[in-house]
């Protein structure tokens, strides 16, 4: 499977996913097929602030089209905050979207977790992962304890 990654929104997150994909594929004795496109963090931050999920989804659409042309079979957004528009993006993307919120929901339920802590971008914490988790209680720092 050729993975298309929308990266750059958080370069550290992009690098983290890339490094760990390399490790996982090597451990499985498989060859990694990966293409990364760069998204601008400033666009994402502005679109989150203005609640412009449709605008961000269209930006991601352009990137997923480029990834599809590069041979990607699936696309993933390397930023949890970038998932604020994931449902809109899933409806537009020409290739399947790996949704981290759905993956987390599956893992929490599979492991029987009933309460999990969340640290991250303010919008991810305020929305408690955009309301996408029903199998576990999401706990975040109190507003005064966030940076």
**Domain identity same for 94 and 36:** yes
Tokens of 124: 């991810």
The tally of domains found in the chain comes to: 2
pTM of the shown model: 0.84
Q: For residues 38-64, b (16+ Cβ closer than 10 Å) or e, as one string?
A: ebeeeebeebbeeebbeebbebbbebb
pLDDT in tens, 31-57: 999 999 999 999 999 999 999 999 999
pLDDT in tens, 54-66: 999 999 999 999 9
**Domain identity same for 122 and 57:** no
What CATH number does residue 12 fall under? 3.40.50.1860
Tokens of 18: 């890339």
**Domain identity same for 89 and 125:** no
**Domain identity same for 39 and 109:** no
**Domain identity same for 1 and 54:** yes
**Domain identity same for 66 and 130:** no
Residues ≥6 apart with Cβ < 8 Å to 105: 132, 133, 134, 135
**137 sits in which H/E element:** strand 137-139
**Domain identity same for 92 and 108:** no
The SS3 assignment for 5 reads strand
CB 134: neighbour CB atoms within 10 A? 9
pLDDT value for 81: 86
**Domain identity same for 11 and 73:** yes
Spell out, as residue ranges, where the chain has pLDDT lower than 50. none
Q: Domain range for residue 47?
A: 1-98
């Amino acid at each position: 499977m050729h993975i298309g990654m929308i990266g750059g929104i958080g370069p550290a997150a992009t690098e983290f996913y890339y490094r760990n994909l390399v490790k996982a594929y090597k451990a499985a004795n498989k060859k990694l097929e990966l293409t990364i496109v760069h998204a601008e963090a400033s666009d994402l931050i502005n679109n989150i602030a203005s609640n412009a999920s449709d605008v961000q989804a269209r930006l991601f659409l352009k990137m997923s089209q480029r990834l599809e042309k590069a041979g990607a079979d699936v696309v993933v957004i390397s930023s949890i905050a970038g998932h604020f528009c994931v449902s809109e993006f899933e409806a537009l993307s020409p290739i399947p979207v790996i949704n981290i919120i759905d993956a987390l929901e599956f893992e929490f339920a599979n492991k029987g977790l009933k309460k999990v802590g969340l640290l991250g971008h303010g919008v991810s914490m305020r929305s408690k992962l955009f309301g996408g988790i029903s199998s576990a209680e999401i706990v975040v720092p109190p507003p005064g304890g966030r940076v």
